[in-house]
Amino acid sequence: MRQAGRYMSEYRALRERYSLLDLCRTPELATEVTLQPVNRIEVDAAILFSDLLLPLEPMGLPFDFIKGEGPQLERPISTPGDIDALRDFEPREALGHVLEAIRLVQQELAGRVPLIGFAGAPFTLASYAIEGGHSNNFAKTKSLMYGHPDAWHRLCDRLSTMVADYLLAQIEAGVDVVQIFDSWVGMLSATDYREFVLPHTRKIFETVAGRVPTIHFGTGTATLLELLREAGGDVIGVDWRIPLDEAWKRIGTDRAVQGNLDPTLLLGPAKRLLEQTQDVLVRAGGRPGHIFNLGHGILPSTPLEHVQMLAQYVHRASRSGTAITREPWDV
Ligand code: CP3
């Protein structure tokens, strides 16, 4: 989860020379950053270095990343008319650099670990398109959703068609798995999720199903897990706000789960980090279909050594079954 990034010195060194968008748009650089964590941490998969906002620009919503503030759109959607003005585009052309990065990464990885491609889910993408950047309460997004439901559904229909096609292009280019990020969907009630989000997210999973395994990720979803399952995904992502065994029971043990360590535990101390890691593993109970992961992205202030220690610990503990006999911090 957010494998590459500011917690790694080699990433920070590249960022001194290039903007985030330059890294995303230059296949050789995106490849280099994708491989940085694979070379330093015992991860079992690589996640493509890209950003879920990239498709907004060819749709007619240009943006930039502002230091200290995150993404900022030049002209966010503010009226239903803005939605009709959005453009359709061919991802194999407009986002050809992402597909080229996938091909380069796969050459470099040469089968060492699988490569995960990704895209944003309609709700999370729509929220950036409407808010224009970070939001605490999603007031503009929800105003459009409640006030102009037809326009909302038109927007999400455009987004889900675009995302499904973009993911198919990533699969053609060679990713082994795709993950759909609905990072902010936990802001919705179950009623709103079912009405305003589920049909659109489901369309994406139905379109890409059967080609490669799919992961459906969200945060703050403790009240939405059954609905996330209904929308689709071979694997459902779980954040740290709910115990993994409870989440898995609600999702159903016929689905795989991914999660769910709180990423702030990586800030230390090591004893608590590994105790809580063990707790996640014990709750997974050695059942097949658990992908150990963080519940959300790694924070920039995380010590790399803690990430390395965590990956090693999870591997050792999983290899020996769940019977972790010694003190978890005694690695
Ligand atoms: O290694 C990886 O995890 C793959 C790369 C990746 C990035 N963005 C690069 C990136 C992935 C999977 C994403 C997805 C993404 N982008 C999400 C969903 C995942 C999540 O965290 O929930 C979201 C919401 C975005 C949009 C986005 N990109 C925001 C809100 C920000 C600003 C965050 C901040 O803390 O400033 C970004 C910037 C971004 N994208 C960084 C990285 C590594 C930060 C690094 C930098 O500024 O150099």
pLDDT digits (tens, 9 = 90+) for 27-52: 999 999 999 999 999 999 999 999 99
- Could you tell me the distance, in angstroms and rounded to a whole number, from the CA of residue 327 to the centre of ligand 1? 35
At 166-195, the pLDDT tens digits run: 999 999 999 999 999 999 999 999 999 999
**Residue written as tokens 């991860």?**
43
What lines the ligand 1 site, CB under 6 Å?
A: 2-6, 15, 20, 47, 49-53, 65, 70-71, 118, 181, 183, 297
Q: Are strands 46-47 and 63-66 parallel, antiparallel or unpaired?
A: unpaired
At 280-326, the pLDDT tens digits run: 999 999 999 999 999 999 999 999 999 999 999 999 998 886 544 44
Of 7, 11, 25, 128, the catalytic one is 128
Nearest CA residue ID for atom 17, ligand 1: 52
51 catalytic residue (yes or no)? yes
Phi/psi for 80 (5° steps) reads -55, -30
pLDDT at 321: 67
pLDDT at 327: 46
2 catalytic residue (yes or no)? yes
166 catalytic residue (yes or no)? no
Nearest to 121 by CA among 79, 192, 179: 179
pLDDT at 331: 39
Q: Does pLDDT of 203 surpass 50?
A: yes
192 catalytic residue (yes or no)? no
pTM for the model: 0.95
pLDDT at 171: 98
Q: Does pLDDT of 211 surpass 60?
A: yes
**Both tokens of residue 82?**
């803005």
Average pLDDT score over residue span 111-126: 98
**Strand boundaries in the chain, DSSP class E:** 46-47, 63-66, 70-73, 115-120, 177-182, 214-218, 235-237, 256-261, 290-294
Average pLDDT score over residue span 105-121: 98
The CA distance from 37 to 28, in Å, is 16
The CA distance from 212 to 106, in Å, is 15
The CA distance from 325 to 34, in Å, is 35
Percent of the chain with pLDDT over 90: 94
At 56-92, the pLDDT tens digits run: 999 999 999 999 889 999 999 999 999 999 999 999 9
pLDDT at 329: 42
Distances (CA, A) of 240 to 125, 219, 244, 259, 308: 23, 9, 8, 8, 20
Nearest to 226 by CA among 252, 258, 257: 252
Of 15, 40, 92, 202, the catalytic one is 15
Amino acid present at 152: W
Taken as a whole, the chain contains a residue count of 331
Q: Does pLDDT of 328 surpass 80?
A: no
Instruction: List all residues 6 or more positions away from 331 whose beta carbon is below 8 Å from its beta carbon.
Output: 274, 309, 312, 313, 316
Of 18, 44, 51, 157, the catalytic one is 51
* DSSP code for 289: T
The CA distance from 112 to 41, in Å, is 13
Mean residue pLDDT of the chain comes to: 95
128 catalytic residue (yes or no)? yes
Nearest CA residue ID for atom 31, ligand 1: 70
Nearest CA residue ID for atom 48, ligand 1: 20
Amino acid present at 86: L
